[in-house]
Structure 1
Amino acid sequence: MKLFLLIAILSSSPIPSLSVSPRIGDCQPASCGNVTRISYPFRVGGRQPSYCGHPAFELVCGGDGVPALKSSYDGYYFVRSIFYHNSSVWLGNSNWLHEKSNLGKKIGIGIGAGAGGILVISFVCLLVYKQKKRKRTPSSSLQLKQTNSSRQILDLELNTAQYRTHIFSYEELEEATDGFNASKELGDGGFGRVYEGKLRDGRTVAVKRLYENSYKRVEQFMNEVDILSRLRHQSLVTLYGCTSSNSRELLLVYEYVSNGTVADHLHGSRAGERALTWSLRLNIAIEAADALAYLHAVEPQIIHRDVKTTNILLDNSFHVKVGDFGMSRLFPLDVTHVSTAPQGTPGYVDPEYYQCYQLTDKSDVYSFGVVLVELISSKPAVDINRSRYEVNLASFAISKIQSNELDQLVDPEIGHHSDSEMKKMIAQVAELAFRCLRLERDMRPPMKEVLEVLRGIRDGANNVENVGKGALAQEDAYLLRKNPPYSPDSVTDRWMSKSTTPNNSA
């Protein structure tokens, strides 16, 4: 529980009573949403004449159908209820609309009338901030309507110490991207388009512009700000800041990573430039695994939930920057999984997550297994141009590994045929990918172990062949079942869910 005490304002000087005006009796109570019979000293702006209330207690009835009271200290608060019997008003921030008052603020307002037509107003504010379960995401109704009052509240949340991020003006970022010129576009994804920009201080940045028609855009925005402002790791993209929600658009500002994505270099727009060497591919795998192991080790644990080669960026030295945390989850402490409808990218989604709706850190491990297969094959995770049973890269890779046909999987451009040591290392990475792609999550190694194995392969550790020894022989039975349910090739709308349930047992 945190307590915030606002400055108490006590006016002992007489203020001319508004009640002496003969017109005050003509004022009819007004309503806004669930708050009814609003009367002196409150008044609803635009619905009641100015003489019907004191200027300090003017309410705004926004599009949400909830009255808001402007505080001279820090923006607007939603009015939950007015208690005339004890001269108090119950206020809430934006989360109250969606969290059944997990966050409540009470402000006592003294209302009194002096003799002889003199009114003395005492305004003493005591803000009690209660936090039992914190959830920063506004609901879709707030996202769609975005009234001025709700934006002010979101601004307040963004500027709290927990986010520790810089707030850019929309005008500065519009200028940095030449008005979001199409020539500055770097790419797009499920929730926004990314532009190259140059700030006034000379820094080159990547600016993500969230789609206006995405009903989850505010959720994605808040999620990335929340998570990236917590993290510091050399292989994670750095968030420089964002716009306030009161700006024209929701924009996120990242460090500029200039060399495209791993997908670009393996099978995308940069694949024709030159094939990635084996040493580069292995180093990419190690750095990406290091980033994911870090996410899984922090408290609270973070599940990326969208690990894929298009979210692994490369700088000019081919060092990794893992990005796009819009779907990531802060994992509750002391739980084994979170029950939630599957979200992710076709071909990378953990089959057990897909079937059982249980998200764990092993879901990221499965997705990383697909990334490993991409690194050795240069093939995309899903390709409808492949034969029917090879559309999904994970199932294709497992088939080739089990049938000892690894040469049909490995990209010949790597040049492994004439290098026995490289061929051995590729086989070891393929075996590790096989372990990551096991259908039962408990049979997959944790990311920390994946990282250790990859480093051992790179360093030529003597014991690398003994790590997970017997894995191919001991646990093949489940994988060898006819038509196993590999990661789906498509994700349907019914998967999308905003509700999640933490569980204490698997």
Structure 2
Amino acid sequence: MENFRNLYYKDYKKTYGVNCVCDYDSNLSYARCSCNRGYEGNPYLQGGCTDVNECLHSDGSLVRCWRGTCVDFQGHWECVYTNHLPLAIGLGSSFGSLIFIGVVYGIYKFIRKQRKLRQKKKFFKRNGGLLLEQQLTSTEGNAEKTKVFSSRELKKATENFSLNRILGEGGQGTVYKGMLVDGRIVAVKKSKVVDEDKLEEFINEVVILSQINHRNIVKLLGCCLETNVPVLVYEFIPNGNLFELLHDEFDDNTMATWEVRLRIAVDIAGALSYLHSSASSPIYHRDVKSTNIMLDEKYRAKVSDFGTSRSVTVDHTHLTTVVSGTVGYVDPEYFQSSQFTDKSDVYSFGVVLVELMTGEKPISFLRSQENRTLATYFILAMKENRLSNIIDARIKDGCKLNQVTAVAKIARKCLNLKGRKRPSMREVSMELEKIRSSLGDMQPHEDVSENEEENDEGVVEINIGEESRNNTIVTAPASQYNVVASSSSWSDVEPLFPHQTR
């Protein structure tokens, strides 16, 4: 037993777990037993030797291990030392991996950002950004009036051009309702893929609108050229366009009074007069029609869609190789000569004026062949003294007939087939203002004689329903956003803003 107790440590380790040892002597009739090292108790009882917590001193204090922790085992104790090297290696590897991943991701983001910047610059250049900057800076300091929006701003404003934000779709693009960061509601016109030959038209619209500040003209707030297709941002017009309100069968009777229609006529005339004579340089709209007349929350008219407009110089004429416009509104003289003047806008306004009086569409296949255009229908009725028969039934009973007659005579002068005999928009605007403010009889100045009108009948008009002649582009007015053209020679031109809002 003494030999067992005096084992070396390496041999003693082999006895771990042996709680009791006994010495059998042949000279004795019994065995001498004792509890093994690390155990205490009665060795003569089954399980009498129990493990002693050797990590506790007799006074209850813990045994101290240098840079380790005392751990009690069965029959022995050990100082356990924690090896932090694997942990340090693991943490270091993980941290290094994170840094590596972060660097790679940062490089990826940088390359992607640079690629996007290059793409935006490419779009900006392709969409005429350089041309636009040149044009705006040459318009006597008006460049600051037009904001250049970032693509991120407009995506946020329109919820990434959500389908739920679509106000309408037309031949030139799609219009979305958006809200800017400052809370302003805007109409965002996203053009369709623009051909290089259409680029000048787009830039022209931006440049012209940037020069205009008139209450009866739709205000351009800015544009974005960083996207695949150009985007224009306009003030939002809530009540749609004049064509819809005049000809929509679900109209809410907004246009049921002559006073409202006369006020709209005055607004339009004032806007066109401003464009022709009061702007920094004369501007011809070139596509005056009821779908391009928007109505705000107070049903005040605002002229829109300047895509085909031209700012002209001293001669006040513009010679084109391709005739553009809308069937029913195009000046016959311009159609023949391809020479657009301020009097061409006057003719188109005359058609809109007749629309307001009669409630008739500019082109109608329900009328006879000779009266298919509203202009010829109206002139014939005037010659036959049948004005009262063609006045819109919705306003006929409540209108002032003397005012309607005076306006009809102005419209007749506007529709004179010879441009030189038409009044200017300034004269028309002044006459309409006088008529609106009049309470008694009111007649416009310089009545056109019957002989003059009859002599003008020799000028040929556009023949609706047949193919247009070479190098001629004419379009038909649109009443809704998804109207299909009923003739191969003309297509619908859609309004910039819709009647319904969301």
Alpha-carbon distance in 1 for matches of 2:260, 2:178? 28
**Higher helix fraction (1 or 2):** 2
**Aligned counterpart, 1:224:** 205
Match of 1:130 in 2: none
Equivalent residue number for residue 349 of structure 1: 330
Within 2, Cα distance between the matches of 1:222 and 1:457?
A: 38
Does residue 426 of structure 1 match 2:399? no
Moved more, 285-294 or 266-275: 266-275
Matched with 2:164 is 183
> Partner of 1:294 in structure 2?
274
Q: Which amino acid aligns with 2:471?
A: R
Residues 1:394 and 2:372 aligned together: no
CA distance in 2, matches of 1:337, 1:494: 19
- Find the partner of 1:411 among 370, 392, 398: 392
RMSD: 2.8
Amino acid at match of 1:443: K
Whole-angstrom CA distance in 1 between matches of 2:473 and 2:324: 6
Specify whether residues 447 and 343 from structure 1 end up closer, same or farther in structure 2 by C-alpha distance, changes over 3 A only.
same
Amino acid at match of 2:266: I
TM-score when scaled to structure 1?
0.63
* One-letter identity of the residue aligned with 2:452: E
CA distance in 2, matches of 1:409, 1:463: 21
Of 396, 412, 421, 1:443 maps to: 421
1:276 is aligned to 256
Candidates 307, 313, 324, aligned match of 1:326: 307
Alpha-carbon distance in structure 2 between the residues aligned to 1:391 and 1:216: 33
Is the CA contact 1:347–1:488 (under 8 Å) kept in the aligned structure 2? Answer: no
CA distance in 2, matches of 1:454, 1:149: 45
1:191·1:217 contact (CA, 8 Å) conserved in 2? no
The answer for the alignment partner of 2:454 in structure 1 is 477
1:254 aligned partner: 234
Deviation for aligned residue 1:285: 0.3
State the secondary structure of the residue aligned to 1:326: coil
Contact 2:187 2:233 survives alignment (8 Å) = yes
3-state SS of paired residue (2:443): helix
In the other structure, the counterpart of 1:383 is 364
TM-fit CA distance, 1:275: 3.6
Q: Does 1:495 align with 2:492?
A: no
1:195 aligned partner, one-letter code: Y
Q: Trace 1:155-234 onto structure 2 (pairs within 5 A).
A: 156-157=133-134, 160=137, 162-164=142-144, 165-212=146-193, 214-234=195-215
Question: How big is each residue's C-alpha offset from its partner over 1:158-196, in whole Å with a ceiling of 9 and x where there is no partner?
Answer: 774553311111222122223333333333444222221
The one of 293, 297, 303 aligned to 1:316: 297
Deviates more, 1:289-298 or 1:380-389: 380-389
Could you list the per-position Cα deviations for residues 48-105 of structure 1 after superposition, in whole angstroms to 9, with x for gaps in the alignment? xxxxxxxxxxxxxxxxxxxxxx9xxxx99xxxxxxxxxxxxxxxxxxxxxxxxxxxxx
Question: Which shifted more, 155-164 or 358-367?
Answer: 155-164
Aligned residues: percent identity?
Answer: 37
CA shift for structure 1 position 423: 1.2
Is the alpha carbon distance of 1:452 and 1:464 closer, same or farther for their aligned partners in structure 2, counting shifts above 3 Å?
farther
- Given residue 367 of structure 1, which amino acid in structure 2 is its aligned partner? S
Offset, 1:393: 0.8
Q: Any idea what SS the aligned residue of 1:180 has? A: coil
CA distance in 2, matches of 1:385, 1:253: 38
| Cα displacement (A) at 1:152 | 6.5
SS of 1:252's partner is: strand
Q: Which amino acid aligns with 1:494?
A: N
Contact 2:157 2:179 in 1 (8 A): yes
Rounded Cα–Cα distance in structure 1 between residues aligned with 2:264 and 2:250 = 16
Question: What does residue 340 of structure 2 align with?
Answer: 359
3-state DSSP of counterpart to 1:465: coil
Larger strand proportion of the pair: 1
SS of the residue corresponding to residue 215 of structure 2 reads coil
Question: Structure 2 CA distance, aligned partners of 1:152 and 1:360?
Answer: 29
- Aligned residue for 1:384, secondary structure, equals coil
- The structure with the largest alpha-carbon Rg is 2
Distance 1:449-1:387 versus aligned 2 partners, 3 A rule: same
CA offset digits 1:338-366 (Å, max 9, x no partner): 21132111110000000011110000000
Offset of residue 269 of structure 1: 6.4
SS of 1:279 mapped into structure 2: helix
Cα drift, residue 384 of structure 1: 2.3
TM-score by length of 2: 0.64
**Contact residue 403 and residue 441 of structure 2 kept, 8 A:** no
Deviates more, 1:168-177 or 1:148-157: 148-157
**1:192-240 CA deviation, whole Å, 9 max, x = no partner?**
2222111121110011111115554422321111001111111111110
State the alpha-carbon separation in 2 of the partners of residues 232 and 375 from structure 1: 26
Contact 2:172–2:191 (Cα < 8 Å) also in 1? yes
Letter in 1 for 2:258: W
Using the TM superposition, name which of 446-455 and 145-154 deviates more.
145-154
- The answer to whether the 8 Å contact 2:418/2:456 transfers is no
Distance in 1 (alpha carbons) for counterparts of 2:289 and 2:454: 28
* Residues 201 and 344 (structure 1), Cα distance of their counterparts in 2 relative to 1, 3 Å cut: same
Question: Residues 282, 303 of structure 1: CA spacing in aligned structure 2 closer, same or farther, 3 A cutoff?
Answer: same
Provide structure 1 residue ranges, at least 5 long, that are not aligned to the other structure. Answer: 1-69, 77-144, 498-506
Does the 8 Å contact 2:360/2:374 carry over to 1?
yes
State how far apart, in whole Å, the 2-side matches of 1:374 and 1:290 are.
18
Q: What SS is found at the alignment partner of 1:363? A: helix
Displacement, 1:332? Answer: 1.5
Whether contact under 8 Å (1:187, 1:195) holds in the other structure is yes
Residues 406-462 of structure 1 show CA distances to partners (whole Å, capped at 9, x for unaligned) of 13321111033x65xx11111111111110000000010000110111111111277
| CA gap 1:269/1:328 in 2 versus in 1, 3 angstroms | farther
SS in 1 for 2:471: helix
Secondary structure of the 2:203 match is: helix
Contact 2:406 2:444 in 1 (8 A): no
